[in-house]
Chain A
Amino acid sequence: MATIAEPDPPAGPGSPAGPAPLADPGPPGEPGDAGIQWQRPSRLLLRARRIQAALVAVPAALAGGLIVGLLASAGLGLITALGLVIIGLLCERFLARRVAAWGFAERRDDLMVRRGVMIRRLSVIPYGRMQFIDVTAGPVERSLGLATLRMHTAAAASDARIPGLDRAAAAKLRDQLAALGEAQAAGL
């Protein structure tokens, strides 16, 4: 599993613009995007994801342990809870790479968003095709001052979101994208 998911050695851009808080796993390994300046989500995104994972794993471990403990024996319940916690910790290891895989690049006519470790995705959304832009922030993200930017096109499948942006940066990017979208707007 881990060997398959191992990212390719960084081949494309040297260093991304601005501070690079997370290890750059490199572009998704296709030649089309050489020389693209990838921008990264905030380093706080990893913490947000960890908190979210913990918020799921700890109650799940408690509930699972309690149910098994009551139905079977206390020892079995403890093992179940421990197992669930270990699964959560394993997921946590994966989180860092997933967070590091996020990246976006503003090109002249379109926005590129890449994500994913196991299944790598790279979307290209022309500015003129954006129908509207959402900025959302869940409770965890809000407590860390983060927000998620989501772009909608007329196609339901073109899923382009950038999580873990600084709230100010998200607002700025939103306005920027909206202005670009208006300038290049194209009909259906």
Chain B
Amino acid sequence: MTSQAPGRPPVATEDITTWHRLHPLSPLVRTGRHLATIGTVLILLLFVSHSQAGGDLVIDSIIVGLVLIGGVISWLVTRWQVADGVLRIETGLIRRESRRFPLSQVQAIDVVQTGLARVLGLAELRLRMAGADSSGGRLASLPLADAEALRQRLLSMAHASGAASAAVAPGPGAVQSPGAASAAAPPAGAGGRVLFRVRSQRLAGAIILSRTGALAAVVIAAAVAVVLATGHPGTIVPFLPFGIGFVLAVWRRFNGEFGTVVATAPEGLRLRSGLVQTTAETIRPGRVQAVRIVEPLVWRAFGWCRLEVDVAGPRQRRENQSESQRLRALIPVGSRAEAEQLTGELLSTQRRPTRRPPPRARWKTLLSYHFLAFDSDDRYVVASRGRVCRETTWVPLEKVQSVRWVQGPYQRRLDLATVFLDVAGRRVRAAIEDRDAAEAGEILGRLPDLARAARTRGRAGAGRAG
């Protein structure tokens, strides 16, 4: 074991090439969420049924104790160092694990603070790598100031080593330049022009009017109705976990998207959001794989929409699954004008899908025909689809990974075909749906060449810039 300074994490000026431990309070932060959940459930159970609470309490406190002890052990055996441009994290008591993160491969570094971490002044450092399935490195938790300083140092090291290996790396744009984003700094003073700031009331309204919110409202209403009808609050206890789940989903969404601020920064767009847990990240326009505007039915009545971007590399393992399924929302809810302004910032086109599929496609797409459309120029393809919720997706041709032409039996009857454009990641693709078969064939014949031309142009542009 190398010399360690338990509880004394490195400051920016300190040597980071030796082994370091995380902050001693990190097990508390890590398990804090689970502890809170267990505690809430415990109190609720106590409140509802007083009878066999005693035995349960003992078992539950044993579980809580075990979780905490596990956290402490995990903290004891975890250490990290930065040497030769590589961040190494060693962890694990029984199954020892040593992970290496070459800083030249780092796409971005986020500073994330959960609610408890904010109270304790701690923060988590998340490294985003380019690989499709490897999860990035996490350093949880460090004192906030140290996390910020370390982020800056790692990013500058990443930049230096990235520039050195730019000839090998796929384009000089491979390395995310250091963003000065600071989770602690006030959003307005972060520098750069503020492009968008979400309105809290509108966000709350939008979430209530969204599917998640509507479901939660229905569940709560049903629970209240049952209690009123039967007069026994105990009858809904078995369904309580579901109810809590729905309410939590709404809360997480509000928590994650509250106070979203998008501002320009030297290296792209800076995005900050969060009420209790805050995240700060930088999005480089050159790394955007797709841009999507989503307009659910009810939101359309208010002229609201949601703007999402897909960036290369895997999403960080989020606290909950549903959040990681969604794309990063630059605009959780905003007006069309705001969305269009931001799309203009991200893409160099204002093209809207205008080319409609042939009328006979109505026979196949009874419920979604009204939104089907696409358009393309020599840099972007834009396609819209949806039954009640319109999704408009822009895909830069430069980023297209493969083009697929698909024709099902019913489409063949109607002489139609669909062309898909796949981009990196598993969530987004642009679908040029139900075109005339001849037109689809022509699109398929033309798109690969257009995409290649766009790639060549993109490389040349990047070469000039580098």
Provide the bound-state CA to CA distance between A110 and B287, in Å.
23
In contact, B444 and A155 (Cβ under 8 angstroms): no
Chain B residues closer than 8 Å to A121, beta-carbon distance: 404-407
Chain A interface mostly: mixed
Q: How far is the CA of A155 from the CA of B402 in the complex (A)?
A: 8
A186 in contact with B459 (CB, 8 Å): yes
How would residues 435 to 455 of chain B score, 1 for a CB under 8 Å from any chain A CB and 0 otherwise? 001101110110111011001
Does B442 lie within 8 Å of A128, measured CB to CB? no
User: In angstroms, how far is the closest chain B Cβ from the Cβ of A161?
Assistant: 12
Chain B residue nearest in CB terms to A118: B409
Give the residue of B132, B173, B407, B449 whose beta carbon is less than 8 angstroms from that of A120.
Answer: B407
What 1/0 mask marks residues of chain A from 145 to 179 whose CB sits below 8 Å from any chain B CB? 00000000111111010000000000000000000
The answer to whether A31 touches B438, judged by C-beta atoms less than 8 angstroms apart, is: yes
A124 within 8 A of B: yes
Contact B408 A119 (CB under 8 A): yes
Known contacts: A153-B402, A188-B130, A188-B287. The answer to whether A124 contacts B455 by CB under 8 A is no
With an 8 Å Cβ cutoff, the count of chain A residues facing the other chain is: 33
Q: Which of B132, B404, B409 has the most CB of A within 10 A?
A: B404
Interface size class of B (residues with CB under 8 A): 35 or more
Segment of B81-89, B144-152, B375-383, B421-429 in the binding face:
B421-429
Q: Would you call B200 an interface residue if the criterion is a C-beta within 8 Å of the partner chain's C-beta atoms?
A: no
A31 to B405, CA, bound (A): 12
Residues of chain B lying within 8 A (CB to CB) of residue A128: 455
B403 within 8 A of A: yes
CB pair B408 A186 closer than 8 Å: no
* B43, CB-defined interface residue at 8 Å: no
The segment from B46-54, B154-162, B272-280, B412-420 found at the interface with A is B412-420
B contact residues around A123 at 8 Å (CB): 402-405
Does any Cβ of A come within 8 Å of B174's Cβ?
A: yes
- Given A154-B424, A157-B426, A188-B170, the answer on whether A124 and B407 have CB atoms closer than 8 Å is no
Within 8 A of B (CB), among A2-32: 4-5, 28-32
B170 touches A120 (CB 8 A): no
| Of listed B405, B424, B442, residue having the most chain A CB within 10 A | B405
Instruction: List B contacts of A122 (CB < 8 A).
Output: 404-406, 444
> Pick the contact of B403 from A31, A124, A186 — CB < 8 Å?
A124
A32 vs chain B, min Cβ distance (A): 3
Please, which residues of chain A bring their CB within 8 A of the CB of B442? 31-32
CA gap between A181 and B199 in the complex, in Å: 47
Any chain A CB within 8 A of the CB of B169? yes
Q: Distance in Å from the Cβ of A91 to the closest Cβ of chain B?
A: 17
Could you tell me the distance in whole angstroms from the C-beta of B120 to the nearest C-beta in chain A? Answer: 37
Task: Give A187 Cβ to nearest chain B Cβ, in Å.
Answer: 3
For A61, what are the chain B residues with a Cβ–Cβ distance below 8 Å?
none
Highest count of chain A CB atoms <10 Å: which of B289, B406, B449: B406
Question: How far, in whole Å, are A188 and B447 apart by their CA atoms in the complex?
Answer: 18
Q: Is A69 an interface residue (CB 8 A)?
A: no
What does the 1/0 interface line of A85-122 toward B look like (CB < 8 Å)? 00000000000000000000000011000000011111
CA distance A160 to B404 in the complex (A): 10
Q: Is the CB of B425 within 8 A of A155?
A: yes
Additional A-B contacts beyond A30-B441, A109-B448, A123-B402 (15; CB < 8 A): A29-B437, A30-B407, A31-B445, A109-B452, A110-B448, A120-B406, A122-B404, A124-B403, A153-B402, A155-B426, A157-B404, A186-B171, A188-B170, A188-B287, A188-B424
Q: What 3 A-B pairs come out closest when comparing CB atoms?
A: A187-B170, A30-B441, A32-B445
A residues with a Cβ closer than 8 A to B are 4-5, 28-33, 109-110, 118-126, 128-129, 131, 153-158, 160, 185-188
B interface residues with partner A (beta carbon < 8 Å): 130, 132, 169-171, 173-174, 287, 289, 312-313, 399, 401-409, 412-413, 417, 420, 422-426, 429, 437-438, 440-442, 444-445, 447-449, 451-452, 455, 459
